[in-house]
Amino acid sequence: MPVRNRRLSIAGGLFGVLAAVSLVMPSSLIVEQAGPAIDVTGDAGEDTPILTITGASTYPSDTRFYMTTVSAYGTADMGVPGAQALLALLMKDSQTVPVRSLYSAEQSAEQVDEKNAQLMTSSQDSAAVAGLAKAGYTTPMTLSVAGVADDSGARHVLQEGDILTSITYDGTTTQLTTFADLSTVLADVPGGKQVVIGFTRDGDERQGTVTTSPYEADSTGWVHPGSRLGIYVNSEDLDFPVDISYGVNDIGGPSAGNMFALAIYDELTEGSLGGDNIIAGTGTVSYSGEIGAIGGIQHKLVGAAEEGATYFLAPAENCTETIGYEPDNMQIFAVRTLDDSIAAAEAIGNGDTSGLTTCRQVVEATQ
């Protein structure tokens, strides 16, 4: 064999070896795909319900509410093998994401798992508080200041660790025993107005005047009603009026809150909230029932469709991410609050969704 041809053969062989090695070595990419959609009104297996409520009257329902998930392959420690990443690039229903765009170099896979488990627990607590509230139950709690924003009107009044006890606006004082007490008052206070906050610090009762700040428009152009204090609030010592337990294992993150809250409300109220339909959805939920944005909604739509869902409740801020990924015969409705989700389920159950806002309508309104 001529020397030049032999060199080309060797070079080609080395390239082939390197290419083969790159396909089996870990990449720097995470692959995301549709995860399972789980009926939160059903069983987790072996007759273990996903949702169990004791200490209150509950009612049977024909409505099935599905939480949706994303399956992520790879960890904070390493990405998937190159071959898997390459295959994902060729599939519409798969997405590759750089490991470091999701996790910092300081985070280990174990730490991420622990955080996701904590987020799921927090989501379940928020769903319980919000769902119970809509069903007429109050969950007392202690509200403490976790931090104060630099541009907050409260920065010279409140500090981390203060316990919030009351809020006074326009001559009316409201005692703060739940997060909803605070958010309900602020929803009626225009930005730039003053409120008086009652709080305790190191056991001493105090008061301070805070000028509220207006909300900025979100990505859809919507502006939250009322105003905010510019503080971060911890809700502690929750005293649930009934016992609620969850049979969800090996799933983390906060995005099931919306569907948990709906299922709790449905079980505590008579009738079938959404008729005999399968309603899937996603979204975080706050103690006061606000629905927040999540990640991976395009994958969650796929998982919902695989379980036969023809209705999907999506956080309004995620609506742009649903365009081009809508499964056939699925209606996707935008929700901002648990009230919106309840109203959507009722409309679906009544067979008339003409009054609901679809995600396409939300997107078109911004164009």
pLDDT in tens, 52-65: 999 999 999 999 99
Write out the two tokens for 27: 């990449």
Write out the two tokens for 63: 């409505």
Q: Is the pLDDT of residue 175 over 90?
A: yes
Residue 171's pLDDT is 96
Q: Which helix (H) or strand (E) holds 243?
A: strand 243-246
Distance, CA of 277 to CA of 186 (rounded, Å): 36
Eight-class DSSP state of 308: T
Confidence tier at 347 by pLDDT (50, 70, 90): very high
Give the CA angle between residues 315, 316, 320 to the nearest 5°.
105
Distance, CA of 145 to CA of 235 (rounded, Å): 9
Residue with tokens 């007759």: 47
Tell me the mean pLDDT in the region 35-49. Answer: 88
Distance, CA of 296 to CA of 233 (rounded, Å): 27
Q: What is the pTM of this model?
A: 0.88
pLDDT in tens, 209-257: 999 999 999 999 999 999 999 999 999 999 999 999 999 877 888 999 9
Residue 21's pLDDT is 37
Q: Are 267 and 52 in contact (CB under 8 A)?
A: no
Residue with tokens 């139950």: 137
* Secondary structure of residue 114 in the 3-state scheme: helix
Distance, CA of 215 to CA of 223 (rounded, Å): 6
Residue 201's pLDDT is 97
pLDDT in tens, 320-338: 999 999 999 999 999 999 9
* Secondary structure of residue 126 in the 3-state scheme: helix
Distance, CA of 367 to CA of 364 (rounded, Å): 5
**Domains by residue range for the chain, with CATH:** 34-72+81-136+241-365 (3.30.230.10), 142-236 (2.30.42.10)
Provide the percentage of residues in the chain whose pLDDT is more than 70: 89
Q: Are 297 and 322 in contact (CB under 8 A)?
A: yes
Q: Is the pLDDT of residue 11 over 60?
A: no
